[in-house]
């Protein structure tokens, strides 16, 4: 057993001596090259060695992973503008095909994956979605489908009580109720104060009059931003 271990030791010692010898020869050779040919040649030699090492590395397979579907930024459900900017984010450098109504438009995302494109809206409902394709030709699934409605019609606004020019007299008539009708889902403000609108479009607002003329600006604003305004003026006298 002792002879076996001593034999291994002698083999390891020979290997170490051989490695040290080879390393010493290489070191001396590099020093000689530096002295006679300069550092640039040594650098070039090192580059060749590096290239050979890299050439032995396995080649990467082609990209077969599809990019994520385009993620679009907020789009309003209703608008009164003729054009709309559709923007979003996907894989950097990917081509996004936006299918808007019956058209399709290609736009390339920037280094951060952002993209945008402007479209003309048709009256009524408009729909769109997108598909992203990366540089390797991989396509994403369809994005979420979106719909935006172009509505340029002003909302209905009718004030049923009181009537413009009405006069009120005495303490019992100091408090009045402004009532009317508008389209459902329309927002009503009276002198910039929000008023609750019922499901059928009716609204009612209680207010206290001051002596003299009382002016009220009644506005109806729909989801697309269209506005109808009426000015109501009534007169109050306490009778004192």
Fold match, 71-150 / 157-237: yes
Q: What is the predicted pLDDT for the residue at 151? A: 97
Q: What is the predicted pLDDT for the residue at 9? A: 58
* pLDDT tens by residue, 21-38: 655 656 676 666 565 656
32 to 25, 107, 174: CA distances (angstroms): 11, 59, 110
Q: What is the predicted pLDDT for the residue at 102? A: 94
Q: What is the predicted pLDDT for the residue at 11? A: 54
Query: Tell me, which fold does domain 71-150 have in CATH?
Result: Immunoglobulin-like (2.60.40)
DSSP-derived secondary structure letter, 173: G
**In the chain, domain spans:** 2-55, 71-150, 157-237
SS3 for 43-111 is HHHHHHHHHHHHHCCCCCCCCCCCCCCCEECCCCCEECCCEEEEEEECCCCCEEEEEECCEEEEEECCC
Q: Which residues of the chain have pLDDT under 70?
A: 1-16, 18-27, 29-61, 240
Average pLDDT, the chain: 86
154: its two tokens: 């002003």
Q: How far apart are CA 139 and CA 112, in angstroms?
A: 19
Q: How far apart are CA 137 and CA 65, in angstroms?
A: 10
Q: Is the dihedral of CA 108, 112, 113, 114 positive or negative?
A: negative
* pLDDT tens by residue, 192-233: 999 999 999 999 999 999 999 999 999 999 999 999 999 999
DSSP-derived secondary structure letter, 207: E
Q: Closest Cα partner for 95 from 105, 87, 85?
A: 105
CATH number of 157-237: 2.60.40.10
97: its two tokens: 């095909």
Strands 167-169 and 227-237: parallel
């Amino acid at each position: 057993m002792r002879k076996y271990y001593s034999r291994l030791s002698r083999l390891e010692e020979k290997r170490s001596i051989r490695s040290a010898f080879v390393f010493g020869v290489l070191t001396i050779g590099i020093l000689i090259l530096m002295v006679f040919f300069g550092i640039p040649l040594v650098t070039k030699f090192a580059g060749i060695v590096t290239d050979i090492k890299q050439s032995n590395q396995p080649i990467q397979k082609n990209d077969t992973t599809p990019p994520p579907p385009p993620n679009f930024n907020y789009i309003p459900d209703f608008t009164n503008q003729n054009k709309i900017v559709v923007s979003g984010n996907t894989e950097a450098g990917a081509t996004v095909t936006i299918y808007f109504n019956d058209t399709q438009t290609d736009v390339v995302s920037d280094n951060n994956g952002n993209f945008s494109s402007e479209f003309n809206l048709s009256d009524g409902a408009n729909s769109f979605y997108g598909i992203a394709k990366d540089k390797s030709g991989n396509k994403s699934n369809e994005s979420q489908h979106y719909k935006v409605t172009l509505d340029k019609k002003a909302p209905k606004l009718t004030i049923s009580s009181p009537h413009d020019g009405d006069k009120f007299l005495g303490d019992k008539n100091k408090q009045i109720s402004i009532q009317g009708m508008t389209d459902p889902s329309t927002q009503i403000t009276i002198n910039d104060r929000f008023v609750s609108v019922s499901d059928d479009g009716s609204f009612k607002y209680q207010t206290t009059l001051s002596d003299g003329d009382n002016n009220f600006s009644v506005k109806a604003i729909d989801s697309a931003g269209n506005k109808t305004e009426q000015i109501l003026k009534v007169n109050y006298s306490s009778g004192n």
